[in-house]
Chain A
Amino acid sequence: KAGVTQTPRYLIKTRGQQVTLSCSPISGHRSVSWYQQTPGQGLQFLFEYFSETQRNKGNFPGRFSGRQFSNSRSEMNVSTLELGDSALYLCASSLVPWESLRPDTQYFGPGTRLTVL
């Protein structure tokens, strides 16, 4: 079956702009998580969505937002971009959310490489 897809794969923006990234989970998966990866801060959790509801949120400013649609596809938006937002943004999907008593493996997408100039 098809894996997690993320679009676009690469993006270049300038400071002050906003950006929307998209993630399509594996068919049947209802939980989608987003992560930011940078050389300085490493991997950091952004949000987790399940059945269109944000269940958990990491320690990021309000400029970072997301949503999930009824087909489980998810988008994340970053407004007023800063240089420090340059990163690899990873999306992961799983059948069930983390709090499930039967935690499922997370499957990661290829990521979107965002460069802010």
Chain B
Amino acid sequence: ELKVEQNPLFLSMQEGKNYTIYCNYSTTSDRLYWYRQDPGKSLESLFVLLSNGAVKQEGRLMASLDTKARLSTLHITAAVHDLSATYFCAGLSNFGNEKLTFGTGTRLTIIP
């Protein structure tokens, strides 16, 4: 069964700094998703990564996928306060009954 681990669980960083959130998964996964959730709000889809070496960027966020290492990263460049949220990664198991398995989430707080 697919297991997804994220780290760190909590991240407090200053505006203008760069940082990376890591998402490790246990077995082969068809694809990797990244989501953002603001407090008390629903989930917003950020990226879908389909293949090894895939890289996607949107503004100050860049996601990448290394299927050989079973690792996806979400890199934040020059953080701004608006990026404060909880970020989730999720993998799609490609064995039989497909289902999304989510990581625990990383609560990101950007300090002015």
Contact = CB atoms under 8 A, between A and B. Distances in A.
B111 interface: no
A106 B45 contact: yes
Given A92-B43, A108-B43, A43 B102 contact: yes
A98 interface: yes
State the majority secondary structure of interface residues on B: strand
Interface string B84-103: 00001010100001111111
A105 B58 CA distance: 14
Interface in A64-117: 90, 92, 98-99, 103, 105-111
B92 A98 contact: yes
Contacts of A58: 99
B44 A108 contact: yes
B103 to A, nearest CB: 8
Interface of A: 33, 35, 42-45, 48, 55-58, 90, 92, 98-99, 103, 105-111
Please provide the 10 A-B residue pairs with the shortest distance between their CB atoms, ordered closest to farther.
Answer: A43-B102, A108-B43, A108-B42, A45-B99, A105-B45, A45-B100, A110-B42, A56-B98, A56-B99, A111-B42
Interface of B: 30-31, 33, 41-45, 48, 50, 88, 90, 92, 97-105
19 contacts: A33-B100, A43-B43, A45-B99, A45-B100, A45-B101, A45-B102, A48-B98, A56-B97, A56-B98, A57-B99, A58-B99, A90-B43, A98-B30, A98-B92, A103-B50, A105-B45, A106-B45, A108-B42, A108-B45
